[in-house]
Amino acid sequence: MTLLHWAVLSPFIAAILIPFLYKYLKRIHTGWFVLILPLVLFIYFLSFIPRTSSGEAILNNLDWVPSLGINFNVYVDGLSLLFALLITGIGALVVLYSIYYLSKRKEKLNNFYVYLLMFMGAMLGVVLSDNLIVIYVFWEVTSIASSLLISYWYTREKSIYGAQKSMYITVFGGLSMLAGFSLLYVIAGTFSIRELIANADIVMASGLFIPAMILVLLGAFTKSAQFPFHIWLPDAMEAPTPVSAYLHSATMVKAGIYLVARLTGVFGGAPEWFWIITIAGLVTLTWGSISAVRQKDLKGILAFSTISQLGLIMSLLGTGSAAFYFQDGDNALYMTAILAAVFHLVNHATFKGSLFMAAGIVDHETGTRDIRKLGGLMTIMPITATISLIGLASMAGLPPFNGFLSKEMFLTGMLNVTEYGIFHLETFGFIIPIIAWIASVFTFLYCILMFSKTFMGKFDSSKLKVQHVHEAPIGMLISPIILAVLVVVFGLFPNLLAYSIIEPAMAAIAPGILSPGEFFDVHITHWHGFLAPELWMTIGVVVLGVILFMTFKKWENTAFYRGERDLFNYAYDYGYDGLVKGSQWLTRIQMTGRLRDYFIYMCTFIILIMAYTMYRYNLPAIQSLDLSPVPIYVWFVIAVFIGSVIVIPFINNRVALIIATSVSGFIVALLFVLFRAPDLALTQLLIETVSVILFMLVFYHLPKLKKVKTPPKLKAVKLIISIGFGLIITLGSLSAFSLGQEANYSSISEYYTENAKEEAGGYNIVNVILVDFRGLDTMLEVLVVALAVLTVVSLIRLRFKGSEDV
């Protein structure tokens, strides 16, 4: 394993150590130990900037399951490095913030930091892995860790509800994504992203292209809270503020953005990819911005603003994917959108992270996040107010902050769409910049409302739980101050990131667009001329936003503003209740408490699945073969065997029933002897002997069987299942034997005969099969038996102690 592999796995290793540090070093806040790791990782990933900015990509291979094409290959290029820096950099600031936000006396910090480190490692695995299956594994770990963090305050009903909702929606998307990855493997024969990009023409030519694309996008949209899967994110705000600042603004919700950006090289250029992502992004942008205006909770506003901003980035990646349709060298028109997406990705992490932390400070110091109870905090909490002002001005798209620059580039990218001349944009393209402008108006509006309702006006302590409100301690302010400073620095000097971070990320999103040695032209400026349409669109946003704010009193009491809960939550709630009721109904049918019913279900399933398999593959394929004659004494043994089986249903005594059953088992052993299989015969004899002894010991102490009148319908069901099961097993065995005798099929027994000595070093084929060829099956069977033994021992010990059976 290389240092890069250890970098990905180090958060998991640290998570294992946290409980011990928490237990033995209680005087020190656990966060101080955790802080070291993201800082070290951030510095380590910074060292890759010179290499990625020169166009180099670093690949370190590690075989995992090479026979299935699953390898833990770590790949660092401009895109993965950007996300790695966000994950570790923002992670370090969040950990520092959490040290002062979470009390070491009141909170279970060992749980919190274990979950946080799990998430950090999983996110690094997602953005640094080259293998789709490895990405999926880490992807689902992010869902698990996120749910654990959301439900950190598990005594709160809303926390549990939010955690469950996020888990259900994101795991549904993850499973869909896994199906899409499987289809990509069927198409291209590889799980490597680099190889898929190299064979993009093969992928696009396949009939499975559209299903694979839709399934992958389901995973990306659910994780990045795209409409209509956005409903889990507002409920996730029940998590502690450090979690919201880290997972739900800077990292986890951008996993879907990363996936779309990374796979643009595979799907980009297809009109379906362009339209699905662009429309989904614009709808999410608009719906999120409108919904944010209706919120009264600070974190609720920030949650819907996050949804909106994620939609903005997604729409830019959708429109920028048109660059793959042309690839003619003149790509500035199309790459503006991708440039804006990358730049806004960085900007959003800075201003939204600072805003979440500021909201947490307000909640921490006042005891509420309800903007109807807040107001006048500017004079009491001036530093927090300044941080919020910078963050909100940047998010609203006001100069000279970094959000203004990326918002201008966003509008430019949307205007450029009308000039593409492809995908019927000459007809519908004009709608895209209009929708983008409308969403920007609502973005400006909720930013003004959030600041004015929280920090302006008259302060009224009677509405607050905390009577003596004051500014947060400096330790809690350090992280948001750093992020606010970055908002200003990146706004005043945007080209600091131009060729160190932004351009390499663009090159990674759009591989093959440039010739070797070429670079995208990245030059970000505040002024594009007085006649630039983006400028007048921004002025229009400000003017209309101010008008709506000034007339706020007139529509404050409307149904639109009062209805703060998202309408799509009702669809989720009804759907969830329906699933619960349906599962309860199905469980009542299945779980009757009678072993007889369970056995009927299992046998019915086996019969149906085997019958379908035979139908699917045109079986049974029974042939008349030249078989050796069967001696008369063998027929006699078989007749005795059949007789011992037939009498079993008519015996009412348990001991006699065990004897009759054991007779059939011993006769099977005799048949093994007659057909020259002494090893199998010995195994059968041992098993039957032990079974008979155990059964006799147990059943001897049970009460006698009572005659129970069986309904005729149940008798018919049992008879049908018995005949069907026997018929299916017989036909299946004969078919397998017949197919094995054909020249076109190689016998599995011949394979074992030829390879037992050479591959496993054994002459006893049966033992070799059990121990080597099917060693994993045998190990699991032993494990099941061991668990059963432990269960029996536990039950016996409980009974001996006089305890209740649990």
Query: Does residue 551 share a domain with residue 410?
Result: yes
Query: Does residue 241 share a domain with residue 343?
Result: no
Query: Does residue 59 share a domain with residue 19?
Result: yes
Query: Does residue 163 share a domain with residue 272?
Result: no
Of 629, 625, 618, 616, nearest to 740 by C-alpha is 625
Cα 375 from Cα 463, distance rounded (Å): 10
Low-confidence ranges of the chain (pLDDT < 50): 329, 743, 803-806
**Domain limit, last residue, from 262, 278, 312:** 262
**Domain limit, last residue, from 534, 569, 604:** 569
pLDDT single digits (tens) 77-108: 999 999 999 999 999 999 999 999 988 777 88
CA distance readout (Å), 652 to 585, 658, 703, 705, 720: 35, 11, 12, 6, 22
Query: Does residue 140 share a domain with residue 118?
Result: yes
Q: Is residue 683 part of a domain?
A: no
Q: Is residue 458 part of a domain?
A: yes
Q: Is residue 759 part of a domain?
A: no
For residue 493, the enclosing domain spans 268-569
Q: Are 270 and 260 in contact (CB under 8 A)?
A: no
| pLDDT at site 675 | 84
pLDDT single digits (tens) 354-389: 999 999 999 988 888 889 889 889 989 999 999 999
Query: Does residue 250 share a domain with residue 376?
Result: no
Q: Is residue 13 part of a domain?
A: yes
Query: Does residue 56 share a domain with residue 107?
Result: yes
Q: Is residue 329 part of a domain?
A: yes
- 74 beta partners: 60, 129
Query: Does residue 447 share a domain with residue 301?
Result: yes
Q: Is residue 193 part of a domain?
A: no
Query: Does residue 364 share a domain with residue 254?
Result: no
Query: Does residue 319 share a domain with residue 255?
Result: no
| pLDDT at site 805 | 44
Query: Does residue 366 share a domain with residue 244?
Result: no
Query: Does residue 325 share a domain with residue 255?
Result: no
For the record, the structure tokens of 490 come out as: 């990146």
Total structural domains within the chain: 3
Of 245, 233, 373, 369, nearest to 308 by C-alpha is 233
**Domain limit, last residue, from 510, 541, 569:** 569
> How many residues are there in the chain?
806
Q: Is residue 151 part of a domain?
A: yes
Q: Is residue 688 part of a domain?
A: no
| pLDDT at site 172 | 95
Q: Are 228 and 287 in contact (CB under 8 A)?
A: no
Instruction: Give residue 297's identity as a one-letter amino acid code.
Output: D
The DSSP letter of residue 593 is S
